[in-house]
Amino acid sequence: MMNREELNNLMDLLNEYNYVQSKLITQLNNSEPKSGLSFYQRQIMLSLHYLGPCTISELSKISKIPSSNACRVINTLIQKELCQKHKEPNKRAVYLTMTEKGKKTLEEYMYARGSKDLEAFNKYIPEKDRQALFALYKQLIEIWSKIPTDFAKELLSKNQ
């Protein structure tokens, strides 16, 4: 089982990978896939995709979004009907979940992003380096998939 530091390091790696990947695609193709979502909005949506329902505080910490921006970003997602707030009975916390429209929007973005990534990788990164990058990314995803969602959220929230 991972400890807080290992889990936080993994999340930092995934966030850094997404950031670098976004910049690489933008520089190489001069076009990030059109999703109608800002970088922070995509980070929130990706966190919800991988972790399920989260509180605003959890999302701010996990996605590395300053709390001053998190509420504004989340309210925009709600206005776009991509996310919704809900409160569980007998609990004070308010959770954010993706709507069906949000899931579809993220799925379309991830498909377009994957296509652009593959195109850029094949065009600009040598085969040997591509194989190493894909192996590392696969390893990150395999590790991440073994972490129970509630445990990951708890550790990431406490470690900030």
Task: Answer for the pair 17, 140: CB distance below 8 angstroms, yes or no.
Answer: yes
Tokens at 93, concatenated: 């916390």
Domain locations in the chain as residue ranges: 4-158
Q: Chain centroid to CA 9: how far?
A: 15
- What predicted TM-score, i.e. pTM, was given to this entire model? 0.63
Q: Could you tell me the CA-to-CA distances from 56 to 108, 134, 145, 153 in Å, in that order? A: 24, 32, 23, 12
- Residues 145 and 50: their CA atoms lie apart, in Å, by 9
E strands along the chain, which residues? 54-55, 83-87, 94-98
Amino acid residing at 91: K
pLDDT at 21: 66
Domain 4-158, CATH: 1.10.10.10
Residue whose tokens read 């609990």: 91
Share of the chain above pLDDT 70, in %: 71
**Of 44, 27, 119, 104, which Cα lies nearest the Cα of 78?**
44
Q: What is the pLDDT of residues 19-64, one digit of tens each?
A: 776 666 666 555 555 667 888 888 899 888 888 888 888 888 887 8
- Residues 138 and 116: their CA atoms lie apart, in Å, by 18
